[in-house]
Structure 1
């Protein structure tokens, strides 16, 4: 069996100086790297609407050169949502000329984020708008009937996101909204009512000056009508309310920002539900400032639910100290707590 050893030694000598040929990289010979360019020459833009992977942005906002441009996202941002209201960094052709496409390479830090989930048990959140500081809640006095619980949910989402709520009541020529507004008597909220057959355009426009305001509301309440009154060239589709179900038809299918004076109004699609699965239950009380003061007298760890022992809110409502409006407010607050816990 010694011949095997001899053969191995000969092969070793034969191939001692052999150098294996390096195969070419099929994707090119340049080594891959995770180091991304810094894009120090990037231009800031503001996203005002999103449509099937394309982002309409305002470049040079507030300057004489302000203009719109169309953008795509860089591949490294493919897992990050870019939403209406985002401030982004752009590279490439930002001229906005027909046929040009700039590229979003960074999303700047957001000051606020308004979110909702499909329902209260859904932990997947949907970002509606970024960097807003006000929420305009549009409610019809009738046709469709106002829904206090839905407004409560808007308020919770607004306070959770750090937005200042404004309540706009439309269609007051059809019904008196006084009873409905009693549900929110304990909250320090600006309320604007429409006139007979007319939207409170001037009053709302004054409240929007210098702010980014997201408009929300149940389908059919007149939200898009209000946006069209504020921005005549918006041409938002206006829905009709079904005479049988009393429900509005979804008309606005996209979230889009419009300039109103020195501010922005962000019109959102009408919704019939507003899930709060993403909200920390501890933040809900912030939407009920009148009850929050009373809750300071509750024992430590109080759940504030109807069966909570020694709950100061329950005791004061039971004693009739808060009146009917207080009772309704506490009921709304506890319903929200129960749905989330």
Structure 2
């Protein structure tokens, strides 16, 4: 599945005689409420010729290996799958103009870990300010990061995208659409200006899978104003880190693994190890704070 637009899905199939064919399909009634998202592996029946006037039906969705999920806010019980089966989540943020939305970045990292995706920070506009504060903030998690500017070669980022399915997320004004246009010159994703308040207008209206010229794919997503985590628990986050998860087995039932939990075993784990453990725990607890309902804006 490479695109969804107003109930119509664009599906890419392998035709033994014609190679890859893109066809238009609708979700079959028997799927019930099961939604289909970009990245899904599906089974189709009907007219699979790919002609302009053809229409196939999606009758089955294969089991997802990973899923990027979000809720509208922290009180919304409805979980929405944004993308399926991606390998990594590329979190695009400007180091300035607009200033990094740290809460949003934390939430994206939580969503990546909870959904089984490997996170990658793409730090744009590094010609205007240093990326070091952001690099320092997440150093304890070992998150890979690629500093970028408009003039910088794309090679460091392309190396990390090659042969993989990557999802790009980022708030308006951080340069995500501009970056996509550089990665895939024929993508023609609209770009917009950033206002003096640091808020750009939303420039992508639908998620779409794009082929990279050198191999691999990227999924460009619409500008996202919020990343609700009502569906994520502290255990989901801790489970993404093998060493921390093992130490957390000694925690009492119901432990939130935050600094406010007096009997959390992670404090003793950090004190017993090298300084890097303390840095890792501090970074992790920032993500755990993001899981909590910290109010609008975080």
The bucket for the TM-score relative to the shorter chain is 0.7 to 0.9
Contact 1:160 1:279 in 2 (8 A): yes
Select 2:156's aligned residue among 203, 220, 224: 203
Quick check: 1:121 aligned with 2:85?
A: no
Contact 1:208 1:263 in 2 (8 A): yes
Q: Distance in 1 between matches of 2:2 and 2:104?
A: 26
Using a 3 Å threshold, how does the CA distance of structure 1 residues 173 and 98 change in structure 2: closer, same or farther? same
Q: Distance in 1 between matches of 2:292 and 2:155?
A: 40
Contact 1:304 1:311 in 2 (8 A): yes
Select 1:143's aligned residue among 84, 90, 97: 97
Using a 3 Å threshold, how does the CA distance of structure 1 residues 309 and 73 change in structure 2: closer, same or farther? closer
Using a 3 Å threshold, how does the CA distance of structure 1 residues 327 and 80 change in structure 2: closer, same or farther? closer
Extract unaligned runs of 5+ from structure 2: none
Select 1:99's aligned residue among 27, 48, 53: 53
Q: Distance in 2 between matches of 1:328 and 1:246?
A: 29
Q: Deviations over 1:203-224 (max 9, x none)?
A: 2222222211111111111111
Contact 2:173 2:198 in 1 (8 A): no
**How many aligned residue pairs are there?**
289
Q: Distance in 2 between matches of 1:207 and 1:62?
A: 31
Query: Secondary structure at the residue paired with 1:204?
Result: helix
Match runs of 1:139-218 below 5 Å:
139-195=93-149, 197-198=150-151, 200-218=153-171
Select 2:236's aligned residue among 283, 307, 323: 283
Match runs of 1:27-46 below 5 Å:
none
Q: Distance in 2 between matches of 1:277 and 1:92?
A: 38
Query: Secondary structure at the residue paired with 1:224?
Result: helix
Q: CA offset at residue 310 of structure 1? A: 3.8
Q: Distance in 2 between matches of 1:132 and 1:88?
A: 15
After TM superposition, where is structure 1 displaced by more than 6 Å over at least 4 residues in a row? none
Q: Deviations over 1:273-301 (max 9, x none)?
A: 111111132112245x4982795486433
Q: Distance in 1 between matches of 2:144 and 2:18?
A: 34
Residue equivalent to 2:29? 75
- In terms of Rg, which structure is larger? 1
Using a 3 Å threshold, how does the CA distance of structure 1 residues 207 and 305 change in structure 2: closer, same or farther? closer
Extract unaligned runs of 5+ from structure 1: 1-46
Residue equivalent to 1:249? 201
Contact 2:257 2:285 in 1 (8 A): no
Q: Distance in 1 between matches of 2:143 and 2:69?
A: 21
Q: CA offset at residue 333 of structure 1? A: 3.3
Q: Which has the higher contact order (CA 8 A, sep 6+)?
A: 2
Using a 3 Å threshold, how does the CA distance of structure 1 residues 61 and 138 change in structure 2: closer, same or farther? farther
Q: TM-score, normalised by structure 2?
A: 0.87
Match runs of 1:233-272 below 5 Å:
233-243=186-196, 245-260=197-212, 261-272=214-225
Q: Distance in 2 between matches of 1:328 and 1:299?
A: 17
Using a 3 Å threshold, how does the CA distance of structure 1 residues 284 and 331 change in structure 2: closer, same or farther? closer
Using a 3 Å threshold, how does the CA distance of structure 1 residues 311 and 135 change in structure 2: closer, same or farther? same
